[in-house]
Amino acid sequence: MLFNTAQFFAFFAAVLLLFYTLPWFAARKWLLLVASYYFYASWNVNFVPLLLTLTLVDYFCARWIEKSAKPRVALIISLSANLGFLAFFKYTNFLASQVTQLTGQPARVFDIVLPLGISFHTFQSISYIVDVYRGQQTAVRSLPDYALFIAFFPQLVAGPIVRARDFFRDLLAWQAPSGEEIRLGAWLMLLGLTKKMAFADRFAIVADGYFGNPVPGQWTAITATLAFGLQIFFDFSGYTDMAIGMAKLLGFHFPENFRRPYLASSITDFWRRWHISLSSWLRDYLYIPLGGSRHGSWRTYRNLLLTMLLGGLWHGASWNFVVWGGYHGLLLGVERAARLDEPRGWLRLPRLALTFVLVMLGWVFFRANGWEASQFVLHEIFLGSRGAGLLNAWQCGLALGALLMALAEDRWAVTERLARGPAWLYVPAFALMGLVLEIFGVFDQAIPFVYFQF
From the candidates 121, 275, 315, 328, give the one annotated as an active-site residue: 315
Q: Whole-angstrom Cα distance, residue 196 to residue 198?
A: 6
Contacts of 91 (CB under 8 A, 6+ apart): 317
- What are the backbone angles phi and psi of residue 4, rounded to the nearest 5°? -100, 35
Q: Which of 75, 73, 86, 48 is nearest to 139 (CA)?
A: 75
φ and ψ of 42, to 5 deg: -65, -20
Q: What is the largest CA-CA distance in the chain?
A: 68
Are the C-beta atoms of 198 and 230 separated by less than 8 Å? no
Picking from 168, 152, 169, the residue whose alpha carbon sits closest to that of residue 243 is: 152
Angle between helices 201-212 and 218-249 (to 10 degrees): 140
292 CB-near residues (< 8 Å, 6+ apart): 300, 303
**Cα–Cα distance for residue pair 77/57, rounded to 1 Å:** 8
DSSP string, 126-155: HHHHHHHHHTSSPPPS-HHHHHHHHH-HHH
Q: How far apart are CA 37 and CA 116, in angstroms?
A: 12
Cβ atoms of 57 and 81 closer than 8 Å? yes
| Long-range interactions of 133-140: CB distance < 8 A, separation 24+ | 133/65, 133/71, 133/72, 133/75, 136/165, 137/164, 137/165, 138/66, 139/62, 139/63, 139/65, 139/66, 140/59, 140/62, 140/164, 140/168
Best CA proximity match to 92, nearest among 100, 325, 311, 127: 100
Confirm whether 121 is a catalytic residue: no
Nearest residue to 53 (alpha-carbon basis) of 73, 90, 80: 80
Distance CA 211, CA 205 (A): 10
236: number of Cβ within 10 Å: 22
Catalytic residues: 315
